[in-house]
Structure 1
Amino acid sequence: MTVTTKTEPRTSPPTTRRGRMKADRRRQLLDAAARLIAERGFHGVRLEDLGAAVGISGPAVYRHFPNKDAVLVELLVGISTRLFDGGTEVTESGSDAAATLEELVDFHVDFATSEPELIRIQDRDLDNLPDDARREVRRTQRRYVELWVAALCAHDPALAEADARVVAHGLFGLLNSTPYSARRGSLADSKPVLRAAALRLIGIAA
């Protein structure tokens, strides 16, 4: 089973050429924002920098985002939602307990190795979100953790929920270390290593 973490439209995709072009430009701006904010921090990036990165003027960025806060909200609320939705898809697939955990590991490894910038931004700039958005991210993250807790307990009925939660957070610490432990060009090479280490941690043969 393959579940992608890449950003997908939150509404129906545009059907007109102009709508598609606008959606593509918005996606380009978000990709540039992820890269630049990961490198410089939220306060080190201006909307004008995002425009320059995709070849449009600073004022043109306001056609897509009203301010810089909205960009950060889209990035961090977006990834927490995508992780929860993807994790839910995995856990509802009907696989047995061990297979579900393997699929969750694969899903999170794919995220960690394809979007390391978002991990850096989450670690450093979560507190720069507006209060309501930060609460939404935290709430969605807790729900994602509970998907793992349920899967871990199903795989090992003797494991207490509190202990499963510790294991889940340990797994995230391992898998989300990617932006700091691997160079951007070597992320693909890190996937089998991360996968094997995560599966060993939860007692599943790689």
Structure 2
Amino acid sequence: MTAGPAAAARPRNRKQLIVEAAGQVFSERGYHAASMEEIATAVGISAPALYRHFPNKYALFAGCADLMVDRLVAALDTCGPEAALTDVLTALTRVTVAHRRSGGLYRWEARYLDRADRRLLRAKFGHVVDRVTTAVHREHPRPAERLRAVAALGAIGSVTMHHTSIAQRRIEDLLVASARGVVAADPAAAEGLAGPVDLPAPPVPRTRRAEILAAAVPLFARDGFATVTNGQIAQAVGLAPSAIYRHYPGKVDILVAACLQAAGLLAQAVERSLHRATGPDAALTALTAAYVAYSFEHNALTSVAEAELAGLPAGLRRPLILAQREHIAVWEQQLRTVRPDLDARQARLLVHAGFGVVVEAGRALRWQDTPGHRDTVTALVIGALL
């Protein structure tokens, strides 16, 4: 009996194709929202065929997480230990841009790995950071070398978190230049750069509805929206689980309220910072300082909004995406005023690079909110933009 056309056409690298497709689905939909059936459809196979390669969704997810970091390590190995900083950054950028659709799972979704897999992933990324730090030390030997290396990787990795479309070579050039700007920044000269920032405070929870929201946000930030139960939220507020439904129709409505609160507070912070600025350069610095201060002060709220937005139903996500676009448009305008050499898409790419710097530098600093940390991260973001 001869095999049919489908069997004859079966690719030898099917497992790799599965991991590629799964990485994109996990990155765009989130670990919990993605299904094995959806991934199988993306590959063009049946779900049973998918299970022949991976016994469950977690095994596939862990394989996706390993693949991207292994590619980064392999790219560095081709450079050699004495490679120049630009060559190191270029190698990492090319891999990241080539696989930008699947790289987004690292920023937020890697928290769903179990402890052993997370430790392994952290060790591999640590090797990447070590290599970049060594190159930074050779070319820009000054304080905070490892922090600048991590922040530069944040600028590069930012391309996995948005869909701005530019020619691939131009993206690579912009990101390498942005990463070089980050590592060239001098944290020691950044004292006072952020200056005083007038941040809006979150509303004091005076109602049960507000108390539920205030209790849910840190739980979502720590454990992820999908794993937190209404029972945990109710316990944090001192309510019976059924009482939650008197204030929110479902858990997703709490998440939407948190995202809307984050967008509102950020819009107020931006408006206040730009209102006091005089001149384009001062406006860009004030905008950066406000965003950095906001990210440190409201870290749980911002991480929830950024990590969980993609998993919301389309109808609930739409107003939040509009608010996000309005915020980015402000950045584009301010950056292009200072840098008229950029078109709108290039400016948007660099703005996202700046956001990536804040996330990775903030994590490296464990979000310890001090004036020095705010100044340092503000300087790193300005380096990424300019």
The DSSP-based 3-state class of the residue aligned with 2:278 is: coil
Distance of aligned partners of 1:57 and 1:136 in 2 relative to their CA distance in 1, 3 Å threshold: same
Aligned residue identity for 1:54: V
Q: Is the 8 A contact 2:217 2:258 kept in 1?
A: yes
Q: Which residue of 2 is the match for residue 135 of structure 1?
A: 318
In the TM superposition, what are the counterparts of 1:1-206 in structure 2 within 5 Å?
Answer: 2-8=197-203, 21-22=206-207, 25-93=208-276, 95-178=278-361, 180-184=363-367, 186-188=368-370, 190-203=373-386
Does the 8 A contact of 2:262 with 2:302 survive in 1? no
TM-score (norm 2): 0.45
Write the distance in 1 (CA, Å) between the matches of 2:314 and 2:384.
Answer: 35
Distance across 1 between alignment mates of 2:309 and 2:346? 26
1:85-139 superposed Cα distances (whole Å, 9 cap, x missing partner): 4324433446211111111111111111112223432343223323222111111
Question: Which residue is equivalent to 1:14?
Answer: none
CA RMSD of aligned residues (A): 2.5
Gaps of 5+ in 1: 10-19
Q: How many matched pairs?
A: 190
TM value normalised by structure 1: 0.79
Greater mean alpha carbon deviation, residues 170-179 or residues 89-98:
89-98
CA displacement, residues 159-188 of structure 1 (integer Å, 9 cap, x when unaligned): 33222212211111111335532325x243
> Could you say if the C-alpha distance between residues 93 and 198 of structure 1 is closer, same or farther in structure 2, counting changes exceeding 3 Å?
same
In structure 2, distance between residues paired with 1:179 and 1:55: 32
Match of 1:17 in 2: none
Gaps of 5+ in 2: 1-195
Alignment correspondent of 1:16: none
Instruction: Note the C-alpha offset of 1:83.
Output: 2.0
Match of 2:118? none
CA shift in 2, pair 1:98/1:143, >3 Å: same
